[in-house]
């Protein structure tokens, strides 16, 4: 690659650091000259210098763009094609937040490898996934793309996702570095302000998981960190990403985020942004062209920049080599994909991602006379945000799987045929958010279930027929007012291609739900941000003392906490044991717990182990998830689940940002049991 680099002109090098959409190579530039092209300010010569492409429809388009480009290019370095395959390309998997409910990294990995095959068949070499931003505010529209509020879960699922992509040879780009999930008040693109210790302790772990699994690129975030936009933040990119996380791959901006530094009022103009970008360590700029337009001139004034440019270009060339583009720049044919395996994986993943929050009557007997109501009765568009090539026409509607006595996709009570509903024994109400209610730029100030639904549910409840609510949503919603008026609640964060079958199979007990929440459901919107692993406070809540941490108008308790989720089986936890109560780091104990299925229904259970550091030199969370295991239990079967404690389970970042372990006592919690550990 060094040889190729040597032969490039400065302009050709800068081209390698520029990414634009495919249209520019194959569209009619004359017609478009007033559109996006003017924004990019690139003439035809410069367009054919650029090095990477954002998004592609299919392999034919990819081949056409590549061919057109290579014919006009002097150096013949192929373009690399990147795009957002977030939870599937053709076959849609559950969204990342839904996948996190499964607590099953093996399945998540399988899902990613199926998605990788499909993405590559479309001509992509890189996916902009996983989104490893830790989230704490359900108002933020993008929580759906995340793995939720827990740093360990974020690590594990980011790791599994990248491994899945890699298994098929798809390169991956983890995003958005860093802490984009902390956009203030859940408003997309808003200020992010957090301390370094908070960043290190909670927000880095997802990116770290992806990088440790071998993610090839990192995308910078739209937000600032310590008042400097992430895209030009030297501390974030050099000290943290390259230094601490030892990331060696390519750093790419988010869409236009380099030029947005002008709006942040931290750069004067395009050329200032370009200098600050390359100096901070940004390799590729996405959807803008300031490097290509400015940096050649700048290197004359500041030859130091040349070295940085060369390093960046070398990283890009190595990425292209890794993608196999120098061997074969084309995608020979769209493998006539057999999607049956992907659909099976999508079903398996979805079946473990649906969460049972309340249960009085489920599973239903197939003979039960059912009214099937709500907008999702006949809706095929159940794929969730970012479903890209996924075609809703290839999915089934819920009514296909439920043999209802009365079906209606109306949502207005007055329009229901009450007489027909009255003749049935059970109401299934399938309602909630659409794919357009979450995603980028889709933040909401009000995450209460709408008044309209509340009224509808209260009216239906007067009929004295048991109600099962199936809630489709991209984020935790406030459902406090309706919980008492329904008998059963199944919730999911958009399950993808197999949604309807999984929902029906779960209602009828063909699937026994095992999902647990990766993000807390608040009781009231005023509690947001709310997350389980918060600090203790100097005045922790005590009912008898008014001057303790609480609200005077609502309770502190969430509606459903992180980790909550029911099963049709009845699991009992007993015999929590620790092999040695006193330990040193060389002799850490194993924790054992017995889990018994006390029912006659086979089920899966995620066993979660939390630890509380009882006393430390800095304030520590009330508890933190440290390990988990998912097990299958036959009717009346018992299993002993073991967790070997690891040094990292007891460690934390101190004020000097060093990861340390302090001696003392720790409490270990599994379900309703706990034990003490003394570290000497």
Helix (H, G, I), strand (E, B) or coil at 319: helix
To the nearest whole angstrom, how small is the minimum distance from the Cβ of residue 598 to ligand NOJ? 45
DSSP 401: T
Please give the Cα distance from 141 to 143 (Å, whole number).
6
Nearer Cβ to ligand NOJ (255/564): 255
- Least distance from ligand NOJ to the Cβ atom of residue 573, Å: 40
Out of 133, 254, 605, 624, name the contact with ligand NOJ by CB under 6 A. 254
Decide if 223 contacts 194 (C-beta within 8 A): no
Beta carbon nearer to ligand NOJ, 84 or 150: 84
* 254 is an active site residue: yes
Report whether 18 contacts 52 (CB < 8 A).
Answer: yes
One-character DSSP codes across 561-579: -TT--B-SS-EEEEEEEES
Q: Is 664 left (phi over 0), alpha (psi -120 to 50) or beta?
A: left
Query: Cβ 125 to ligand NOJ, closest distance in Å?
Result: 15
Going by C-alpha positions, the residue among 253, 255, 166, 180 that lies closest to residue 211 is 166
Q: Choosing from 133, 137, 216, 254, which is the catalytic residue?
A: 254
Size of the site for ligand NOJ (CB under 6 A): 6
- Position 440 contacts ligand NOJ (CB under 6 A): yes
Measure the CA–CA gap between 342 and 110, rounded to whole angstroms. Answer: 9
- The least CB distance from residue 273 to ligand NOJ, in Å, is 17
Site for ligand NOJ in 214-233 (CB under 6 A): none
Kindly give, in sequence order, each residue whose CB lies less than 8 Å from that of residue 369, ignoring residues fewer than 6 positions away.
405, 423, 424, 425, 426
* Between 63 and 253, CB nearer to ligand NOJ: 253
Largest CA distance in the chain: 83
- Interface with ligand NOJ includes 84 (CB under 6 A)? yes
Q: What is the CA radius of gyration of the chain?
A: 26
Query: Alpha helices, DSSP H only, in 18-104?
Result: 23-26, 29-32, 36-40, 44-47, 59-72, 96-101
Minimal distance in Å, beta carbon 235 to ligand NOJ?
21
Q: Does 122 interact with ligand NOJ (rule: CB under 6 A)? A: no
Under the binding rule (CB under 6 A), the answer on residue 283 touching ligand NOJ is no
Helices (H), 385-463: 418-422, 451-461
Taking the complex as a whole, the smallest distance from the CB of residue 437 to ligand NOJ amounts, in Å, to 17
Interior angle at CA 630, CA 520 and CA 536, nearest 5: 35
Report angle CA 71, 72, 75 to the nearest 5 degrees: 90
Residue number with CB closer to ligand NOJ (114 or 254): 254
Q: Nearer Cβ to ligand NOJ, position 358 or 444?
A: 444
Strand partners, 427: 371, 467
CA dist list (Å): 94 to 98, 210, 385, 449, 475? 6, 19, 10, 22, 13
Is 87 a binding residue for ligand NOJ by CB under 6 A? The answer is no
Token pair in block for residue 499? 């949604």
Q: Is 175 in the site for ligand NOJ (CB under 6 A)?
A: yes
* Nearest distance from C-beta of residue 106 to ligand NOJ, angstroms: 26
- Residue closer to ligand NOJ, measured from CB, 233 or 514: 233
Residue 197 CA to residue 180 CA, distance in Å, equals 16
Which residue, 149 or 254, is less far from ligand NOJ as judged by CB? 254
Interface with ligand NOJ, residue 255, by CB under 6 A: yes
Member of 128, 493, 531, 669 binding ligand NOJ (CB under 6 A): 128
Residue nearest to ligand NOJ (CB): 128
Q: In what order do the strands lie in the sheet with 406-408?
A: 355-358, 488-492, 467-472, 426-432, 370-373, 406-408
Task: Give the position of tokens 């919730």.
Answer: 491
Residue at token pair 């594990």: 156
Looking at the Cβ atoms of 255 and 405, the one nearer to ligand NOJ is: 255
Could you give the CA distance from residue 445 to residue 183 in angstroms, rounded to a whole number? 13
Verify binding: residue 624, ligand NOJ, rule CB under 6 A. Answer: no
Nearest C-alpha neighbor of 235 from the set 261, 196, 205: 196
Q: Using omega within 30 degrees of 0 as the cis cutoff, is the peptide bond preceding 363 cis?
A: yes
Instruction: Answer yes or no whether residue 485 interacts with ligand NOJ by CB under 6 A.
Output: no
**CB neighbours of residue 453 within 10 Å:** 21
Residue with smaller CB distance to ligand NOJ, 439 or 466: 439
Q: Nearest approach, Cβ of 84 to ligand NOJ (angstroms)?
A: 5
Q: To which H or E segment does residue 633 belong?
A: strand 624-633
Which residue, 231 or 514, is less far from ligand NOJ as judged by CB?
231
The catalytic residues are 254
Catalog residues that contact ligand NOJ under the rule CB under 6 A: 84, 128, 175, 254-255, 440
């Amino acid at each position: 690659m060094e040889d190729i680099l040597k032969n490039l002109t400065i302009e050709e090098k800068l081209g390698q650091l520029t990414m634009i959409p495919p249209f520019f190579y194959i569209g009619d530039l004359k017609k478009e000259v007033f559109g996006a092209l003017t924004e990019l300010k690139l003439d035809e010569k410069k367009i054919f210098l650029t090095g990477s492409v954002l998004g592609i429809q299919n392999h034919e388009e990819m081949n056409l763009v590549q061919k057109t480009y290579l014919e006009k290019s002097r150096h013949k370095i192929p373009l690399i094609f990147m795009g957002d395959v977030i939870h599937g390309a053709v076959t849609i998997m559950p969204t990342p937040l839904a996948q996190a409910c499964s607590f099953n990294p093996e399945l998540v990995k399988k899902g990613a490898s199926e998605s990788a095959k499909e993405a590559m068949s479309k001509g992509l070499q890189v996916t902009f996934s996983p989104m490893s931003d830790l989230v704490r505010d359900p108002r933020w529209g993008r929580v759906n793309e995340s793995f939720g509020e827990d740093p360990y879960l974020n690590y594990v699922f980011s790791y599994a996702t990248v491994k899945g992509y890699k298994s098929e040879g798809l390169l991956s780009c983890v995003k958005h570095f860093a802490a984009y999930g902390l956009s203030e008040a859940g408003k997309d693109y808003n200020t992010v302000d957090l301390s370094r210790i908070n960043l290190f302790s909670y927000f880095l772990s997802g990116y770290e998981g992806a990088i440790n699994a071998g993610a090839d690129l990192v995308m910078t975030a739209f937000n600032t960190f310590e008042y400097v936009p992430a895209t030009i933040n030297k501390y974030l990119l050099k000290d943290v990403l390259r230094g601490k996380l030892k990331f060696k791959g390519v750093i790419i901006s988010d869409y236009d985020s380099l030029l947005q530094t002008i709006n942040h009022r931290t750069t004067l103009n395009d050329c200032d942004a370009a200098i600050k970008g390359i100096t901070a360590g940004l390799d590729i700029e996405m959807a803008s062209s300031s490097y290509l337009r400015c940096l050649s001139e700048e290197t004359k004034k500041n030859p130091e920049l040349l070295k940085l440019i060369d390093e960046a270009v070398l990283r890009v060339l190595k990425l292209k080599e890794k993608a196999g583009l120098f061997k074969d720049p084309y995608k020979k044919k769209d493998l006539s994909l057999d999607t049956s395996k992907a659909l099976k994986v999508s079903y398996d993943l979805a079946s473990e991602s649906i969460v049972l929050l309340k249960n009085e009557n489920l599973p239903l007997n197939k003979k039960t006379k059912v009214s099937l109501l709500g907008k999702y009765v006949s809706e095929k568009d159940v794929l969730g945000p970012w479903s890209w090539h996924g075609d809703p026409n290839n999915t089934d509607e819920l009514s296909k799987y439920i043999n209802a006595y009365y079906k209606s996709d109306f949502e207005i009570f007055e329009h229901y045929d009450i007489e027909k509903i009255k003749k049935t024994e059970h109401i299934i109400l399938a309602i909630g958010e659409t794919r357009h209610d979450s995603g980028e730029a889709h933040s909401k100030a009000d995450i209460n279930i709408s008044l309209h639904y509340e009224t509808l549910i209260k009216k239906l409840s007067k009929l004295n027929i048991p109600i099962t609510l199936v809630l489709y949503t991209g984020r935790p919603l406030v459902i406090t007012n309706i919980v008492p008026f329904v008998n059963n609640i199944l919730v999911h964060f958009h399950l993808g291609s197999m949604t309807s079958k999984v929902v029906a199979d779960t209602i009828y007990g063909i699937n026994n739900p095992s999902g647990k929440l990766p993000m807390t459901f608040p009781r009231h919107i005023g509690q947001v941000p709310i997350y389980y692993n918060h600090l203790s406070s100097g005045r922790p809540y005590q009912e008898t003392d008014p001057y303790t941490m609480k609200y005077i108008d609502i309770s502190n308790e969430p509606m459903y906490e992180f980790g909550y989720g029911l099963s049709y089986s009845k699991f009992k936890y007993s015999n929590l044991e620790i092999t040695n109560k006193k330990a040193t780091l060389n002799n850490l104990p194993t924790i054992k717990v017995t889990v018994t299925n006390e029912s006659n229904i086979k089920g899966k259970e995620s066993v979660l182990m939390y630890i509380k550091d009882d006393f430390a030199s800095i304030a520590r969370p009330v508890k933190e998830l440290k390990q988990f295991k998912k097990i299958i239990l036959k009717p009346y079967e018992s299993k002993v689940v073991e967790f070997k404690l690891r040094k990292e389970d007891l460690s934390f970042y101190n004020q000097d940002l060093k990861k340390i372990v302090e001696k003392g006592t720790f409490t270990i919690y599994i379900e309703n049991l706990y034990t003490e550990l003394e570290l000497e």
